Amino acid sequence: MTPEEYREKINAALDACFVIPQDWPAAGLAEAMRYSLLAGGKRIRPMLVLEFCRIAGGNWEDAMPVACAVEMLHTYSLIHDDLPCMDNDELRRGKPTNHVVYGECTATLAGDTLQAEAFGAILRSALPAERRANCARILADAVGLDGMCCGQYLDMLWEGRALTEQELTDINSRKTGALLAAACQMGVAAAGGSEKMLDCAGHFGAALGMAFQIRDDMLDVTGKVEEFGKPIGSDLAEQKNTYMVLLGQEGCEKAVNKLTAFSKDILNEAFEDTAFLHTLADRLAVREK
């Protein structure tokens, strides 16, 4: 499978989610959920679920509900991240953010419901019970008190003061890296892969996540709004702590290259068919959106 083929399959599966009759009480809520879920995006996280399931010896099609779940969870985080009480952004993936279209209350509930439905998608899947439980546990750990929500909290708590590189990494390893690492491990868990596979998948995802965030910080300065899908220069305007502030562009480029090389090397310790993931890591290192 190519990334484009995976993306097509993922988008079709997501499009089948939350389709309910217009006369149902929750129709408006479902519409708001679908608005952000189907707003585009690279689908990197669900793609990682499917590919890691495949190289861990499973059938990637069996892992599709898990792939959809991680994208639901990711979408919930974006909706909430954009809210007026958080980053107060008005543009996401080139479109008005959820609260701009549907209002703050509905947007908050859309995010809440997507988070709940993410776990429901895993637990209602046809995977064996132990694999379902493992996937749900990995996702919960990645999002909870020491995961993505903690990263968002630290980002808010430390706002307005200069951070060290370690403090910035403490934020982003949770806020961005944790869910990417979880996607990789959930693919292995869906296939019933070994502990060594789970460990290597987690290291790959964590390194990929850090490289992804650094590249994101670079694009906030050097990118084009029509490609990046959100305002350029917003981090600088809001005096946010970023890797571009700490490391400069050259330092960021070196860090992305180092992390990408590490992510590819670690795969070889547990997996054989790694060409797809190597190519994906290289593409993300030079992405423009």
Per-residue pLDDT, 160: 84
pLDDT of residue 239: 59
In the chain, the number of structural domains is 1
**Rounded to an integer, what distance in angstroms lies between the CA atom of residue 136 and that of residue 122?**
7
- CATH number, domain of 132, equals 1.10.600.10
The model's pLDDT over 53-86, given as tens digits with 9 standing for 90+, comes to 999 999 999 999 999 999 999 999 999 999 999 9
Distance CA 73, CA 63 (A): 16
d(CA 74, CA 181): 13
Per-residue pLDDT reduced to its tens digit, 200-228? 999 999 999 999 999 989 998 875 555 55
**Does pLDDT of 231 surpass 60?**
no
Q: How far apart are CA 92 and CA 97, in angstroms?
A: 5
Domain span at 84 = 3-285
CA neighbor of 113 nearest in space, from 14, 11, 18, 19: 18
Q: Hey, which bits of 84-204 come out as E strands?
A: 91-92, 95-96
- C-alpha 86/C-alpha 156 separation (Å) is 8
Q: Does position 125 have pLDDT exceeding 90, yes or no?
A: yes
How confident is the model over 12-28, as a mean pLDDT?
Answer: 95
Average pLDDT, rounded, for the chain = 92
**In whole angstroms, what is the distance from residue 55 CA to residue 60 CA?**
9
Of residues 133 and 221, which shows the higher confidence score?
A: 133
Which are the contacts of 194, defined by CB distance < 8 A and separation ≥ 6? 56, 270
Indicate the pTM of the whole model.
0.92
Question: pLDDT by residue (tens digit) across 277-286?
Answer: 999 999 999 9
CA dihedral 23→28→34→40, nearest 10 degrees, is 130
Is residue 208 a contact partner of residue 263, using CB atoms and an 8 Å limit?
A: yes
